[in-house]
Amino acid sequence: GGDAGAGGDSGGGDGDLISVGFSQVGAESGWRAANTKSIQDTLTEENGFDLSFSDAQQKQENQIQAIRSYIAQGVDVIAFSPVVESGWDAVLEEAKAADIPVVLTDRSVDSQDETLYESFIGSDFVLEGETAGKWVVDNLGSEPLNVVELQGTTGAAPAVDRKAGFESAIEGNPNIKIIASQTGNFTRTEGRQVMEGFLQANPDIDLVYAHNDDMGLGAIEAIEAAGLQPGVDIKIVTIDAVKDGMQALVDGKINYIVECNPLLGPDLADIIKDVVAGNPVEKRIVVEDKAFDQAAAAEALPTREY
């Protein structure tokens, strides 16, 4: 559950604050750390919020428990980033029955009933995968190319969508083949472990497509341990563009990164204020993402916020 104690429409001195229960996916990646910081730095008392924040450690049951406890506390608004897409209808119905509006951030749910939440703010993950795939086609697609894929958390929107987007971008090119694909759960450790297995089983890997920077950074460790040069012997394309990823891109160990902007706090704060004020909000707010090759990363890195 939450950790702020005084949630809900508690009386006393914080009567004007908007109480928010936020259930975060976990702390699996550099992206997630930047996202958590953005939310905690924005939903402050100074800005008019009383935030209860909980980390679900990448477990849906923990998120459902946290949301139930926010409902029991009677918070003004519940916000969360669903670890996987499916299985949310029951708890969202409970929030609706309690008249507590829900805002989705970063990842969405596959619920058919759109009245179960007010708004979803986050990136277009299919487009991110397409952008990654298009770069591979345009830059490496003229010769046979064996690709291994490090997928995000099984059932998570960014894993499902980034896989689909990449596949659709490479579809028309018979040179490009995905020869192995496995989840690395968006973490550096699992990215390294899965890449070690890929290297043992496949003597001829040309490119790693990792659904986030952290798994790509884990793959770099495995490639170097195998005596190969990441970015040269085996090319690497990832998604996120957090600082560690951008540094590896500048160092020539990664070849291309599609951004996923984690700084959702300010927009989330605005949406919550509108919802509480009864103003209409957009059902879907798409966050704009850039993309970086090695030269663009060298230019962007010095002023990178996360």
Q: Which lies closer to ligand AHR via its Cβ, residue 160 or residue 260?
A: 260
Retrieve residue 199's tokens: 């290297």
Retrieve residue 205's tokens: 């890997």
Q: Which lies closer to ligand AHR via its Cβ, residue 31 or residue 53?
A: 31
**At its nearest, how many Å lie between ligand AHR and the CB of residue 28?**
5
**At its nearest, how many Å lie between ligand AHR and the CB of residue 214?**
6
Q: Which lies closer to ligand AHR via its Cβ, residue 107 or residue 192?
A: 107
Distance CA 242, CA 232 (A): 21
Distance CA 304, CA 29 (A): 17
Distance CA 122, CA 106 (A): 4
The answer to whether the CB of 232 falls within 8 A of the CB of 252 is yes
Distance CA 131, CA 125 (A): 10
**At its nearest, how many Å lie between ligand AHR and the CB of residue 86?**
15
**Can you give the binding site for ligand AHR, defined by CB under 6 A?**
28-29, 31-32, 106-107, 158, 186, 212, 239-240, 260
**At its nearest, how many Å lie between ligand AHR and the CB of residue 276?**
25
**At its nearest, how many Å lie between ligand AHR and the CB of residue 98?**
27
Helix axis angle, 188-201 to 213-225, nearest 10°: 50
Q: Which lies closer to ligand AHR via its Cβ, residue 7 or residue 191?
A: 191
Q: What does DSSP assign to residue 288? A: P
β partners of residue 19: 50
β partners of residue 39: none
Distance CA 205, CA 227 (A): 14
Distance CA 133, CA 137 (A): 6
3-class SS of residue 40: helix
Q: Which lies closer to ligand AHR via its Cβ, residue 52 or residue 261?
A: 261
**At its nearest, how many Å lie between ligand AHR and the CB of residue 237?**
14
**At its nearest, how many Å lie between ligand AHR and the CB of residue 31?**
3
Q: Which lies closer to ligand AHR via its Cβ, residue 24 or residue 42?
A: 24
Q: Which lies closer to ligand AHR via its Cβ, residue 38 or residue 212?
A: 212
Q: Which lies closer to ligand AHR via its Cβ, residue 62 or residue 73?
A: 62
**At its nearest, how many Å lie between ligand AHR and the CB of residue 35?**
8
Distance CA 286, CA 106 (A): 10
Q: How many residues does the chain have?
A: 306
Q: What does DSSP assign to residue 84? A: S
Distance CA 50, CA 155 (A): 31
CA angle in degrees (0–180, nearest 5) for 214-37-247: 35
